[in-house]
Amino acid sequence: MMKRRLLTFILLAVIAGLQPVTSNVHAAPSVQYGNTVGDVWDLQYRLKVLGYYAPSLDGQYGTQTKAAVAKFQLAYGVHADGIAGSLTWSLLRKHTLNLYEMDILAKIIYSEARGESYTGQVAVGAVVMNRIQSPDFPDTISEVVFQRGAFTAIDDGQYWLTPDRTAYLAAQDAVRGWDPSGGSLYYFNPNTATSSWIWSRTQNVKIGNHIFAN
């Protein structure tokens, strides 16, 4: 089990072209130019996934990290001071994932949609991201994915299958904002769905075997 987790960790790092970083689930302190605390790794990783930070991760809050933070702040309507304070961290955690969380997203994409097209896989990832950002669902990916009855793959154990490279790439595209689902919060297979409630939802688009809805 430990060997498989290590291989998964390395695979994601290779795909993203990054050095490994650790999960930071605590409340990150304000970090700024000159800092070298562990949260800088998390900050750089999130910014790199979004495309704001180009260099390799080095854990150094230098000029490039400050510029990347400022670009993110500007894009999300925050005062662009280049300092990762509480509001910036809140937005980052709402719209991005760290390395550990990206692994969760890749697993749910692979277990729920590995037979679908690439667009269909990204759409499933987008639904997860939409739920994180919705006030009607929990605020973290762990809580969203493991919410009771939310995903069939959790209930039947398929979630624990090892994702392939495509699932990780689809996860990255979903985090970067590609949403083929059209802002959907739900999806279902019309050939197997028996819930009258899910059929009552407003349908946005059908991709492969899944209907995406709100």
Q: Please state, rounded to an integer, the average pLDDT across all residues of the chain.
A: 89
Domains (range + CATH), the chain: 24-95 (1.10.101.10), 117-213 (1.10.10.2520)
- The separation between the first and the last C-alpha atoms of the chain, rounded to the nearest angstrom, is 37
- pTM to 2 decimals? 0.81
* DSSP code, position 145: H
- Specify burial of residue 52 (Cβ count, 10 A radius: 0-12, 13-18, 19+): buried
Q: Give per-residue pLDDT as tens, 33-89.
A: 999 988 999 999 999 999 999 999 999 999 999 999 999 999 999 999 999 999 999
Q: How far is residue 188's CA from residue 208's CA, in Å, rounded to a whole number?
A: 11
Q: How far is residue 91's CA from residue 103's CA, in Å, rounded to a whole number?
A: 20
